[in-house]
Amino acid sequence: MLALALVGGAVRADDSTALADNLKHWLTLVDRQQYGDSWGEAGALFRGGITERAWQARIAQVRGPLGAVIKRSLQGQKYTTTLPGLPDGDYDIVRFNTVFEHKAVAVETVVLAKEERGWKVNGYFIK
């Protein structure tokens, strides 16, 4: 359901695999409504910005009404070293066109940051 090919060559091949694996794992946790686990697997910036309890409430409120993921396809991906309001680092912004059970057209945006423990999700948004 999720295939990821990094564009632009900014991320090394070994990083590419780790990034894709971590992203797929994290999204699977969210898709299975394992919100506490998704918070625990998220990056330091993410966990520092929202408590586990607040994350569980917020994501359940947003994702719950959408229902199950029917299809998720890569829309685009961008590597950057700067993001507004965040320290300089290695970031990857991944966008998906997603079809949910109760929402036919949605865009999921996932922001990953390279940390000591690998690529970790530090932002998740649905439009």
Residue 6 included in any domain: no
CATH number of the domain residue 27 falls in: 3.10.450.100
pLDDT at 22: 94
| Sign of the alpha-carbon torsion through 100, 28, 90, 4 | negative
pLDDT at 11: 53
Full domain range(s) for residue 33: 13-126
b/e 65-101 (16+ beta carbons within 10 angstroms → b): eeeebeebeeeebebeeebeeeeeebbbebbbebebe
- In tens, the pLDDT along 32-90 reads 999 999 999 999 999 999 999 999 999 999 999 999 999 999 999 999 999 998 999 99
Which helix (H) or strand (E) covers residue 50, if one does?
none
Residue 7 included in any domain: no
Contacts of 17 (CB under 8 A, 6+ apart): none
What letter would DSSP give residue 9?
T
> How many domains in the chain?
1
Q: Residue 2 — pLDDT band, cuts 50, 70, 90? A: very low
Residue 4 included in any domain: no
pLDDT at 38: 98
b/e 28-49 (16+ beta carbons within 10 angstroms → b): ebbbeeebebbbebbbebbbee
Residue 5 included in any domain: no
Residue 8 included in any domain: no
pLDDT at 17: 87
Instruction: Name the average pLDDT for the chain.
Output: 90
